Amino acid sequence: MSPRIRLHKAIAQAGIASRRKAEKLIASGKVRVNGKIVKKQGVIVEPSTDTIEVLGGKIPPFAKRKYYFLLNKPVGYVTTTKDPHRRKTVMELVPDIKGLFPVGRLDKNTAGLLVITNDGELTYRLTHPKFEIEKVYNAEVNGDITESELKKLEKGVFVDGKRTSPCKIKILNKTTVQLNIHEGRKRQVRRMFEAIGHRVLKLDRIEYAGIKPDIKRGNFRRLKPSEVKSLYKRVGLK
């Protein structure tokens, strides 16, 4: 018998969605337990005996096998499982396994490292701001970057009325810098440079949570057990 746990966690552990998304599915009436719609948060379930349905489909009664992939995303793909505009998605570049979803986002014109998994609990924690997961980018911008502009970025600039957290910056050449950040706001790096008067021409995520690229652009590989263990450790999971 599996342990009794909260409904949103059971959905996440089944690889259907992150805990945050699971809570939204529950609130919108998209989840049933033993045939009844559940909208209340915090309901306790027994995954091995209760019938749990999400969006009309039953989730497996026991935790299914978990998959962890690293993708070196090319430009031109959107980071989503499905796209209503029929654009190419990152899911076309990894194995066709039901329940996989990307951890966080890289916009269509950004390349680089992206973790794809069906581990909802890990995804939830990796994308939660309190765990401050480090991401390293190489950014090529228009125009020469001055020392004063870099200092502004390092201290934090205002995006949507809120100052970004301090970051580490390394100059690669006059128009290209390397940024180490731990926030994950939408289009954050591009908007940080817009705040100091520069437009990002090329953006590449070269490191994610300590994982560095060792695969060609457009390729994927399974995460090594040591890498999965490291990710778990970073977010306080065992």
pLDDT in tens, 87-103: 999 999 998 887 899 99
Q: What is the CATH number of domain 134-208?
A: 3.30.70.1560
Pairing of strands 101-102, 57-58: unpaired
31 in Cβ contact with 52 (< 8 Å): yes
User: For the residues 6-10, what does the mean pLDDT come to?
Assistant: 88
Is the pLDDT at 1 greater than 60? The verdict is: no
Report whether CATH 3.30.70.580 matches the domain 68-129+214-234: yes
54 phi/psi in degrees, rounded to 5? -125, 120
Torsion sign over Cα 110, 115, 121, 125: negative
pLDDT tens sequence across 137-182: 999 999 888 889 999 999 999 998 999 999 999 999 888 999 999 9
The structure tokens 């995006």 sit at 159
- For the domain made up of 5-58, the CATH class stated in words is alpha beta
Per-residue pLDDT, 113: 97
Which residue intervals of the chain bear CATH 3.30.70.580? Answer: 68-129+214-234
**Closest C-alpha to 9, from 133, 171, 121, 96:** 121
What is d(CA 109, CA 204) in angstroms, rounded to the nearest whole number?
9
DSSP H stretches of helix in 127-167? 147-155
Distance CA 205, CA 106 (A): 9
Q: What angle do CA 178, 181, 185 make, to 5 degrees?
A: 120
What's the rounded mean pLDDT across residues 109-122?
A: 94
- What's the pLDDT score for residue 15? 66
* d(C-alpha 195, C-alpha 199), whole Å: 9
First CA to last CA distance, the chain: 20
Long-range contacts, 30-38 (Cβ 8 Å, 24+): 30/54, 30/55, 31/7, 33/7, 38/7
Give catalytic residue positions.
107
Q: What predicted TM-score, i.e. pTM, was given to this entire model?
A: 0.75
What is the Cα–Cα distance from 187 to 209, expressed in whole angstroms?
A: 18
pLDDT of 3 strictly over 70: no
Whether 66 has a pLDDT exceeding 70, the answer reads: yes
User: pLDDT by residue (tens digit) across 11-62?
Assistant: 877 767 777 888 999 999 999 999 999 999 999 998 778 899 999 888 766 5
Q: pLDDT tens digits for 185-227?
A: 889 999 999 999 999 999 999 999 999 989 999 999 999 999 9
Comparing 125 with 3, the larger pLDDT belongs to 125
Give CATH 3.30.70.1560 domain extents, the chain. Answer: 134-208
Q: Locate CATH 3.10.290.10 in the chain.
A: 5-58
Contact call for residues 164 and 72 (beta carbons, < 8 A): no
